[in-house]
Structure 1
Amino acid sequence: MRFPETQLKVEHLAEPQLEFAFGQQSPHPKDGLFLYGPLAKAKKTKEIRVGVVGTPEGLAHFRSWSRSLLRSVEVPPPGKGEKADRLHLANFPGLEEAFGISFDPDECSVLSIPLADIDRATRVTNLNEAVDQVASLYIDRVQKYLRNEEKAIDVWVLVLPEIVYERCRPESRRTGLPLVKGEFGKKQKFRADLPLLSGAGIIDQSGERIFEDVPDFHRRIKAEFLRIAPTQLVRETTLAPGAFLNKAGYPIRNTQDAATTAWNLATGLYYKTQPKPPWRLAEVRQGVCYIGMVYKSLPNDPDGHSCCAAQMFLNEGDGVVFRGANGPWKTGDREFHLKPRAARELMELVLETYIETHGAPPAELFIHGQTTFNDEEWQGFVAAVPAETNLVGVRIRSTGGETKLFRDGDYPVLRGTALLLDDQTAYLWSSGYVPQLDTYIGPETPNPLHITVLRSRFAKPNILTVLQDIMGLTKINYNSCNFNDGLPVTVRFARMVGDVLTMGSAKGEEKQPFKFYV
């Protein structure tokens, strides 16, 4: 049923509450952590084991930053034209006070890499080879540590000099940079171009993997560490912006204030070292499972195949990533669809883990995608789901400037505003003015998400229930400590997860905690 244009309904959804220690609730992660502590707060402070890899200068910046993390970090005084009560900012009370964890900066396992070695590797003519050499400097140091040391590491922090960020991404421009010759020539990017073994008449495939992967340091590291431990990548300029100034005496890049940086990185450290996340949604309906579908075209694949995966999130908030089969899933410019067998097998992986955790299948299973679901793949999903589980397919799309809703006042539309087009379709403003923060954190008038309930095995759920669920899923990004994201976690990290899974070193990792990917 579509409502007549003159009767379009506008609803406002309440801000989802988060749960912290002792069952206490707050809509803001920072408030909840400051007042109550993390969800699984222990009686004693937990010491986490941190390994750090970087240049000597980067390691020094990390130690200095870590010492400040162990005490309070205040937000800077308001600048010209800013309000004194900037409610979106909050002083950081200290790692132990907020999260109940700690570590000794002088007792971390420290692995040093000379900056000159990194600089030379970034100058290798072929970008694929350059990224491989830089990543190998970090990976080899960690692998050597794991072979020779008995001390286990909970999380590896990789401190990156700015040249890694500038020179080791797919879009890196190294114009004017003196390059050095590597093992392979500039144009050797495919298997057929690799050198023959001397006198053997066969292809030497020892280095072919680096040409199959996208030349991206971040993706490569995340893929390699899927079988090692969670990682936290951080730029030296993030830890010590005042140490990197331009000729005018200003920092070479704009960074968040020190307190916000501390909140975000501390949240990541907690999430990646503890069995449970720092908070969870307080009012999630029991027996509900959310899945975000991930598709990514495989680089340099002659058959045009794609990788598929599913991100599963439960009411506890934490997630698991399941890798599905590679195949010809791309059917249009932006459309991906699985064959029935691949859809069934991927869903079976998800359900097996859910049942192991809860002892029974979910009552409702929502699949969040950014495209439609065709008949073949939907039947594959249904074939894997127990008879008592209602399977619901929801499409979530970001919109551009074609749809705007204006509010009479100084600030944009309220976050949580929903424009209902019919009983299956709506626009949802997941970003907007937040009264609690007395601000809208964004550069322009916010754009809504376009939400459509496409399919359902049984009766379709109420559209307001679907929208409220999505609102909640915008608040469980544990790689930062923001009030909310603009996208639900089921969709927000789909591209990042796909980027990692298409790397050659990620092959064989069918199931891993979500924390390994962010």
Structure 2
Amino acid sequence: MKFDVVTPRLIHLPEPALSFGFGQSTDHPKDGLYLYGPHKADDRNKVITIGVIGTTEGLEYFRRWGRSVLGDVLVPPPKKTDKEHRLHLSNFPGMPAAFGVSFDPRDFIEYVVDGDKIETTTALQNHHEAVAQTVEVFLERVRHHDENEERRPDVWAFVLPEIIYTRCTRQARRSGVTLSPGEYVKRQKQRSNLPLLEDVIDLTKEDIFDDVPDFHRQAKAKLLKLGYTSQLVRETTLAPEAFTNAHGYPIRGVQDAATIAWNLATGLYYKTQAEPPWKIANMRDGVCYVGLVFKNLPNDRNNHACCAAQMFLSEGDGIVFRGANGPWQTENGEFHLKSTAARDLIGKVLETYEEKFGAPPKELFIHGRAGFSSEEWRAFEAAAPKETNIVGVRIKTTTGQVKLFRDGKYPTLRGTAMILDQNNAFLWTSGYAPRLDTYIGPETPNPLNVTVLKSSGERPDIETVLSDILALTKINYNACNYSDGLPVTIRFANKVGDVLIMGSARGGGKQPFKFYI
């Protein structure tokens, strides 16, 4: 018996460059913003309007943070125990200097929520009701503002007490909390006293069960319906020194103040402006990237799932297209669309692309964690015009199947690729970055397993596919990191799905990506 011997080919892909103001480019978002400003630089300083909802203390924390980020926020001095350079840390030069936008902390649209009220709602006996009522404490302020005020904020910031994170997540155990009955428990007890009707009354058929009991997901879903982007931030992030244990240490470990400033400022800019702060430089014209999203619907007796597509252009920003709900999960745990749903979903993407550019894309890359069924792929091809080459790419994380070791202090370089053949490769999107002179990670990094599965036309070169994936790890506008370990087409699939499956988010065909993060 003969066996084919595969001789892997190792290459190193150059770090993708990003485009900033004045047509300048560099590989680090912080450098680009510090030196040149955002990609769509403006001659005058824009002023954004921020709506802030929180406790009395939370509002003060946000005002104090707002005042601080209008000027320099410095990286803390190195400790004696620091044995390495800290090039991954950067001073924050101030919101106006880095982003060309500003705000007046004295002019925030502010609404106070009662801390005692949050204590009460988070302690309701039914967890679904507890989360829903806690979200409502914040949302009723947003609706009140819409009904009574003409001035519309560019973004809503919810400043969240720590109790919301201990009691209002899906995994919250709420141990040690004295729970109180709410309206749901009272109604349930009333129904139980009607024995003649107990066979026809469904005790779980309540609106509160349409949403997973998670504050973050519910708030995003409901603000999506109201047409608002949002920034959810914990009080302990803004003022860690105000929350200490009995020994005087912060109850939560957080990043340094300069890094927090970079990340929150990037998110605020992205969620208030028409275009993202930076774009990928030197991307090929006429290329579109789509990440498929699947998420099982909560409490669905038919075990149906929601499907969606995240479209990202070479320009950087993204759009989320909601598809049909249906029995997309197969027996082996993978998700595959039926013909009509697949054609409709990709058809929406192509229609939007043509509206923006006046012509269909030359190449449409569809990224997924699984393969594509024959029915699914034929529908994708049927949805696309002949001049568009559709390329199906599977991107899977690995957990130790392949390790590459480097002779030196740090692990293999980010951008290293092991090419097995024209369709298969391993790509290290995490690893030692010379620009940072460090590796941000706990252990020897694992590569992504990349496979070009199908194409309607000529298959692209595997190195081109890998270079594109590496570039897509640099457009996470919810932070200001050098790079991510996953391309944006895969990175946010779960977060987008988490919002889409909420009953509060039902309806609507497409929304900007910035509403989901």
Relative distance call for 1:157 and 1:181 in structure 2 (3 A) is: same
Which residue of 2 is the match for residue 259 of structure 1? 258
| Preserved contact between residue 45 and residue 100 of structure 1 (Cα < 8 Å) | yes
Aligned positions of 1:134-173 closer than 5 A: 134-173=134-173
Question: How many matched pairs?
Answer: 511
Which residue of 2 is the match for residue 516 of structure 1? 515
Please give the alpha-carbon distance, in whole angstroms, between the structure 2 residues aligned to 1:294 and 1:338: 11
Please give the alpha-carbon distance, in whole angstroms, between the structure 2 residues aligned to 1:451 and 1:401: 15
Aligned positions of 1:112-511 closer than 5 A: 112-185=112-185, 208-227=206-225, 228-511=227-510
Please give the alpha-carbon distance, in whole angstroms, between the structure 2 residues aligned to 1:230 and 1:123: 28
Q: TM-score, normalised by structure 2?
A: 0.96
Name whichever of 316-325 and 219-228 sits farther off: 219-228
Please give the alpha-carbon distance, in whole angstroms, between the structure 2 residues aligned to 1:88 and 1:194: 60
Relative distance call for 1:204 and 1:403 in structure 2 (3 A) is: closer
Please give the alpha-carbon distance, in whole angstroms, between the structure 2 residues aligned to 1:165 and 1:509: 29
Moved over 4 A (4+): 3-6, 186-189, 193-196, 201-207
Please give the alpha-carbon distance, in whole angstroms, between the structure 2 residues aligned to 1:188 and 1:508: 30
Shift of 1:85: 3.6
Which residue of 2 is the match for residue 62 of structure 1? 62
Relative distance call for 1:250 and 1:194 in structure 2 (3 A) is: farther
Q: Which amino acid aligns with 2:219?
A: I
Which residue of 2 is the match for residue 89 of structure 1? 89
Please give the alpha-carbon distance, in whole angstroms, between the structure 1 residues aligned to 2:39 and 2:193: 56
Shift of 1:188: 6.3
Shift of 1:362: 0.1
| Preserved contact between residue 20 and residue 277 of structure 2 (Cα < 8 Å) | yes
Q: Which amino acid aligns with 2:73?
A: V
Taking every aligned residue pair, what percent have the same amino acid on both sides?
60
Please give the alpha-carbon distance, in whole angstroms, between the structure 2 residues aligned to 1:498 and 1:187: 31
Please give the alpha-carbon distance, in whole angstroms, between the structure 2 residues aligned to 1:122 and 1:463: 51
Please give the alpha-carbon distance, in whole angstroms, between the structure 1 residues aligned to 2:187 and 2:4: 60
What value does the CA root-mean-square deviation take over the aligned residues? 2.1
Please give the alpha-carbon distance, in whole angstroms, between the structure 2 residues aligned to 1:257 and 1:195: 56
Which residue of 2 is the match for residue 49 of structure 1? 49
Shift of 1:82: 1.1
Please give the alpha-carbon distance, in whole angstroms, between the structure 1 residues aligned to 2:77 and 2:487: 32
Please give the alpha-carbon distance, in whole angstroms, between the structure 2 residues aligned to 1:229 and 1:63: 21
Please give the alpha-carbon distance, in whole angstroms, between the structure 2 residues aligned to 1:142 and 1:383: 44
Aligned-partner SS, 1:442: coil
Relative distance call for 1:60 and 1:333 in structure 2 (3 A) is: farther
Shift of 1:162: 0.2
Shift of 1:490: 0.2
Relative distance call for 1:457 and 1:194 in structure 2 (3 A) is: farther
Relative distance call for 1:426 and 1:133 in structure 2 (3 A) is: same
Shift of 1:139: 0.6
Q: TM-score, normalised by structure 1?
A: 0.96
Name structure 1 gaps, 5 residues minimum: none
Q: Does 1:75 align with 2:75?
A: yes
Name structure 2 gaps, 5 residues minimum: none
| Preserved contact between residue 6 and residue 420 of structure 2 (Cα < 8 Å) | no
Q: Which amino acid aligns with 1:107?
A: D
Aligned-partner SS, 1:185: helix
Please give the alpha-carbon distance, in whole angstroms, between the structure 2 residues aligned to 1:371 and 1:439: 32
Please give the alpha-carbon distance, in whole angstroms, between the structure 1 residues aligned to 2:491 and 2:391: 19
Relative distance call for 1:205 and 1:508 in structure 2 (3 A) is: farther
Please give the alpha-carbon distance, in whole angstroms, between the structure 2 residues aligned to 1:238 and 1:332: 43
Shift of 1:205: 10
| Preserved contact between residue 296 and residue 495 of structure 1 (Cα < 8 Å) | yes
Please give the alpha-carbon distance, in whole angstroms, between the structure 2 residues aligned to 1:9 and 1:319: 34
Q: Which amino acid aligns with 1:17?
A: A
| Preserved contact between residue 291 and residue 366 of structure 1 (Cα < 8 Å) | yes
Relative distance call for 1:370 and 1:53 in structure 2 (3 A) is: same
Name whichever of 59-68 and 179-188 sits farther off: 179-188
Aligned-partner SS, 1:233: strand
Shift of 1:332: 3.1
Aligned-partner SS, 1:71: coil
Relative distance call for 1:422 and 1:167 in structure 2 (3 A) is: same
| Preserved contact between residue 7 and residue 420 of structure 2 (Cα < 8 Å) | no
Q: Which amino acid aligns with 1:208?
A: E
Aligned-partner SS, 1:141: helix
Aligned-partner SS, 2:143: helix
Q: Which amino acid aligns with 2:425?
A: A
Aligned-partner SS, 1:163: helix
Q: Which amino acid aligns with 2:239?
A: A
Q: Which amino acid aligns with 1:153?
A: P
Aligned-partner SS, 2:105: coil
Relative distance call for 1:195 and 1:35 in structure 2 (3 A) is: farther
Relative distance call for 1:120 and 1:284 in structure 2 (3 A) is: same
Which residue of 2 is the match for residue 17 of structure 1? 17
| Preserved contact between residue 195 and residue 203 of structure 1 (Cα < 8 Å) | no
Question: How far does the alpha carbon of each residue in 1:469-497 deviate from its partner, in whole angstroms, 9 at most, with x for none?
Answer: 00000000001000000000000000000
Question: How far does the alpha carbon of each residue in 1:326-362 deviate from its partner, in whole angstroms, 9 at most, with x for none?
Answer: 0000003430000000000001111111011100000
Shift of 1:207: 7.9
